[in-house]
């Protein structure tokens, strides 16, 4: 059985200095199928 895809919405207004760290944090989560989405 394929694990479900988990979408993560990242509000990014004026967040450029923090965005790389936030996306790295999402990628390092234990869930195998995360899909970060910038809003």
pLDDT digits (tens, 9 = 90+) for 1-39: 777 777 888 888 898 898 899 888 888 877 777 676 665
Answer whether residue 20 is part of any domain. yes
Q: Is-contact 5 37, C-beta < 8 A?
A: no
DSSP character for 11? -
Distance of alpha carbon 33 from alpha carbon 3, whole angstroms: 7
Q: Does residue 12 belong to any structural domain of this protein?
A: yes
User: Is 18 part of any domain?
Assistant: yes
What residue numbers bound the domain in which 17 lies?
6-38
In a domain, residue 1? The reply is no
Residue 17: the pLDDT is 92
pTM for the model: 0.58
Distances (CA, A) of 27 to 15, 16, 31, 36: 18, 17, 9, 8
Note the pLDDT of residue 2: 78
Number of domains in the chain: 1
């Amino acid at each position: 059985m394929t694990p479900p895809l988990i979408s993560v919405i990242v509000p990014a207004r004026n967040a450029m200095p923090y965005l790389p760290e936030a996306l790295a944090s999402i990628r390092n989560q234990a869930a195998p199928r995360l899909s970060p989405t910038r809003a």
